[in-house]
Structure formats: C-alpha cells, structure tokens
Amino acid sequence: MSDCIFCQIAKGEVPARVVYEDDEVVAFEDINPQVPVHVLVIPRQHYNDIGDDVPEALLGHLLAVAARVAQEKGVAETGYRLLTNIGEDGRQTVGHLHMHVLGGAKMPIRMGPAD
C-alpha cells in the first residue's frame, strides 16, 4: 500500500532506525518509545493485522525476530513484553501488522487506561 507508513519504511522510502532486516521482516525503533527499549517488528508485505490470512511461517518468523531483537537490545535476560494491537478497540494506530518489543523497565499490568 503506497500510503502505509510501515510499507514506506520497509521499502526504505521513509527513514527509520532499523535494528534488523531481512527479505521478509524489518525491525526498527519506535519514534515515540513507551519504555527504554521499544522496537517494532513488521513484515515487509502489507497485512492489516494478524487475522489478515498471514502465513504461519511468517508469523513464526516475526516471533523469532522479536526474540532476536530482545536479545540484541539486552532485555531477554530481565524480561520483555511482546504486543500486537488489532483493530480500533485493540488500539491499533497503524493498519499494518506489527509487533512491539517492549523492555528495559518493569512493565505495568496495564499499558494504559481502558476507556
């Protein structure tokens, strides 16, 4: 999708602080980090969310890359959170499948207020 910011990042059309990339996945620093380590892991191909007929192999690869990022960012030992928001009620703000790797601080039980 030409107007999707994450597709543009995946294509290198929009700059990002990339921490990992391969033929299928890109991981980059969030521009508005909520904790000391906040990295987004996205597939290069556009999928709206996890329910968008994403191949199981790609989902597994996203998880493996998230674990690798956590290791490389130094939060694997102390713990981290993997999060994906789906749809409006799930607080998804960018309509491109992505996982948040969050760490470097004790995680709250809730990430924010429930409206």
Catalytic residues, which ones? 98
Give the tokens for residue 99.
Answer: 């996982």
DSSP structure class, residue 92? -
DSSP structure class, residue 12? T
Q: Which residue has the tokens 């607080």?
A: 91
Question: CB within 8 A of 73, min separation 6: which ones?
Answer: 19, 37, 39, 101, 103, 104
Alpha helices in 1-115 (DSSP H): 5-10, 56-72
